Structure 1
Amino acid sequence: MKTCLTCIFLLIFSAMSKAQGTDTLYLWPDKVPGETEAKHPPVQTANTSGNVTRLTDVTDPALVVFEPKGPANGAGIIVCPGGGYSILAIDKEGYEVAEWLSQLGFTAFVLQYRVPDKREPALYDLQRAIRMVRGKASDWKLDPKRLGVIGFSAGASLAARASTRFGERTYTPVNGLDSLSARPDFALLIYPAYLDEGEDRSLTPELSLSKETPPQFLFGTTDDRYGNSVLVMAAALRDEKLPVTLHLLAEGGHGYGLRKGNPAAETWPDLAEKWLRQLILGPDRPLLPR
């Protein structure tokens, strides 16, 4: 038993050591809403195929902070890794993305949301994370009105849900931070999944669009088995005359992050950077000194 516990600790340490974040913030100070298990560190699975670190059994949701490398721009982005709401591809779709964003001047926060099979509690976690970063924005010299989300696969589904359900009271407030807005100011959905769970593969019913829905950047490929999601979401936003930018490539598949060797992975980051700079860091929003 002692040997088993040692192995689990080493697996967790290995996963966390890959994160070059400067701090870890736990979202819930006491009881975690909707959680039946006691708080404990996340578990790294034995599956490392594709050179991906996978976390599961998250009961104490947290944000890993990546501060800007070089001049800061005053904007923050919460990163939501994918993994089918079963695991978190924490390095490929989390830490590596946050590192890239930090090099662009953003303060990035990798969200360890609850898995496995806890879609609704995962939304509580992201909404709480948005409120926490907004409430503590001065700690990182951030503009609380320039806080967005980026998600991949199931993480993009989570980001889409946060971008459309921010007006709902999904959990009982635990402190003053929960009085703040949970609306992200922008969202990037990279190869999203689960957005077409409506009738005849239409928009998932819980995604209720309104004039307050923030601007969206969508990226996908036609050979992605979940590729209908990005098309359905883009069409719904367009029909409502809401700001949306869609990029669709012929090839790339699913789950590529920003790792080299995949045409989609080598394409979307430049497009996303350009979109962010035009929309979030435009001429009327100059780079802020640190």
Structure 2
Amino acid sequence: MSINIFSKDYTQKVFLWDGVPKMETQKRDTILYYTPAKGESSSKTAAVIICPGGSYHHLGMPHEGFASARWFSEHGIAAFVLRYRVAYNCHHYPDQLEDIQMAIVYIREHAEEFNIDKSKVGAIGYSAGGHLVTMAGEFASTHNELTKLGIKTSESVRPDFVMPIYPVVTMQDDISHKWSRRSLLGHKWSAPDAEKGWRPWNFWGHAYSQSLKDEFSMELNVPDDMPPTFILACEDDPVVIYENSVRLDKALAEKNIPHIFVTYPKGGHGFGMKENSYIMKETHWNDKDLLPWLVDIHVVTSF
């Protein structure tokens, strides 16, 4: 795997599929951007994979990706922004899950090089990226896509903690984010259970079987070993209905999974860690809510 060095927003660029048999054509669409933890430390640091949102169609790299990387770096956590494959470039499931699982394994395999504690590799995701990091936590034991690709590794594909922020959660018809669902699950020729056909309520003409919607509804698939989870959402979210996060919170509680659900009445959607966004100016949720949680689960030792 080749590494390109030097940029304003990151120090290394890793092409995750470079040199992987049968995956060479995926090289340009899957990139991991590394920003090291700031400050000198004799001990190994935690690492976070950052998955921007964009309806599984495109990616909000600046405000959700690199802005988040700067914040984590400043707080002593190595940051890796993942440019995962999306529908804009004709990618649907399982490509996105392959990408985040490969990122997790790559970081653990190179933990010594990055001075990272491989038992503290987490993932934060925004909107559709929130669905992706939740899926990485839920599907680690049941959907190991790297094994299917013939990739042999002794490292786990399970993240140690996950942070879905204003996440897409469900694929059920009542509150699902339809664009994300369509981008993830694809069309009849890419999703075995997809049905193609015009519907009055489904202008794009893509319907999905109930079993397929259930499989990718995160509130229905929480395992007993789900990683500790931090959820944040705003009640006035105009893009992904707030109830998505409510359902995930309830599902985690029913399984007694250590988690926290932070809510705000106002803030909308898509703010990431962009400093001039309304909710960041009003709350600085990353400092006020996220950082104490990271301390509580021993990812960082102090403020």
TM-score category (smaller protein): 0.7 to 0.9
CA distance in 1, matches of 2:13, 2:152: 20
Matched, 1:272 2:302: no
Please name the residue that 1:121 is paired with: 95
Q: Secondary structure, in 3 states, of the residue corresponding to 2:130?
A: helix
Please name the residue that 1:205 is paired with: 215
Displacement of 1:39 in angstroms is: 4.6
Aligned CA RMSD, in angstroms, stands at: 2.5
CA distance in 1, matches of 2:8, 2:64: 12
Q: Secondary structure, in 3 states, of the residue corresponding to 1:25?
A: strand
Change in Cα spacing, 1:40 to 1:279, as seen in structure 2 (3 Å) is closer
Matched, 1:181 2:156: yes
CA distance in 2, matches of 1:128, 1:40: 12
Correspondence for 2:110 among 136, 147, 152: 136
Displacement of 1:198 in angstroms is: 3.2
Of 264-273 and 246-255, more deviation after overlay is shown by 264-273
Is residue 86–residue 96 contact of structure 2 (8 Å, CA) maintained in 1?
yes
Identity of aligned residues (%): 30
CA distance in 1, matches of 2:6, 2:78: 19
Which amino acid in the other structure matches residue 273 of structure 1?
A: L
Is residue 68–residue 102 contact of structure 1 (8 Å, CA) maintained in 2?
yes
Which amino acid in the other structure matches residue 160 of structure 2?
A: D
CA distance in 1, matches of 2:26, 2:99: 14
Is residue 16–residue 27 contact of structure 2 (8 Å, CA) maintained in 1?
no
Is residue 19–residue 91 contact of structure 1 (8 Å, CA) maintained in 2?
no
Q: Which runs of 5+ in 2 are unaligned?
A: 177-212
CA distance in 2, matches of 1:260, 1:204: 37
CA distance in 2, matches of 1:140, 1:76: 9
TM-score for the superposition, normalised by structure 2: 0.74
CA distance in 2, matches of 1:190, 1:264: 13
Which amino acid in the other structure matches residue 243 of structure 1?
A: P
CA distance in 2, matches of 1:123, 1:175: 14
Displacement of 1:99 in angstroms is: 0.9
Change in Cα spacing, 1:82 to 1:204, as seen in structure 2 (3 Å) is farther
Counting matched residue pairs gives 247
Please name the residue that 1:64 is paired with: 33
CA distance in 1, matches of 2:293, 2:272: 18
Displacement of 1:32 in angstroms is: 7.4
Is residue 82–residue 88 contact of structure 1 (8 Å, CA) maintained in 2?
yes
Matched, 1:232 2:247: yes
Correspondence for 2:25 among 29, 38, 61: 38
Q: Secondary structure, in 3 states, of the residue corresponding to 2:66?
A: helix
CA distance in 2, matches of 1:17, 1:93: 20
CA distance in 1, matches of 2:21, 2:66: 24
CA distance in 2, matches of 1:174, 1:19: 36
CA distance in 2, matches of 1:221, 1:67: 30
Displacement of 1:69 in angstroms is: 1.6
Is residue 232–residue 263 contact of structure 2 (8 Å, CA) maintained in 1?
yes
Change in Cα spacing, 1:221 to 1:64, as seen in structure 2 (3 Å) is same
Which amino acid in the other structure matches residue 275 of structure 1?
A: W
| Per-residue deviation, residues 44-68 of structure 1 (Å, max 9, x unmatched) | xxxxxxxxxxxxxx3xx12110001
| Per-residue deviation, residues 14-57 of structure 1 (Å, max 9, x unmatched) | xx997521111111134576x7x93564xxxxxxxxxxxxxxxx
Which amino acid in the other structure matches residue 247 of structure 1?
A: V
Please name the residue that 1:26 is paired with: 15
Q: Secondary structure, in 3 states, of the residue corresponding to 2:64?
A: helix
Displacement of 1:263 in angstroms is: 4.1
Displacement of 1:110 in angstroms is: 0.4
Change in Cα spacing, 1:199 to 1:237, as seen in structure 2 (3 Å) is farther
Q: Secondary structure, in 3 states, of the residue corresponding to 2:274?
A: coil
Change in Cα spacing, 1:30 to 1:156, as seen in structure 2 (3 Å) is same
Please name the residue that 2:268 is paired with: 253
| Per-residue deviation, residues 157-183 of structure 1 (Å, max 9, x unmatched) | 100100100012224345443x42111
Which amino acid in the other structure matches residue 32 of structure 2?
A: L
CA distance in 1, matches of 2:280, 2:133: 19
Q: Secondary structure, in 3 states, of the residue corresponding to 2:117?
A: coil
Please name the residue that 2:145 is paired with: 170
Q: Which runs of 5+ in 1 are unaligned?
A: 1-15, 42-57
Which amino acid in the other structure matches residue 82 of structure 1?
A: G
Correspondence for 1:149 among 117, 120, 123: 123
CA distance in 2, matches of 1:32, 1:160: 28
| Per-residue deviation, residues 248-287 of structure 1 (Å, max 9, x unmatched) | 10001100112234343343211111111121246xxx58
Please name the residue that 2:180 is paired with: none
Change in Cα spacing, 1:123 to 1:19, as seen in structure 2 (3 Å) is farther
Of 156-165 and 260-269, more deviation after overlay is shown by 260-269
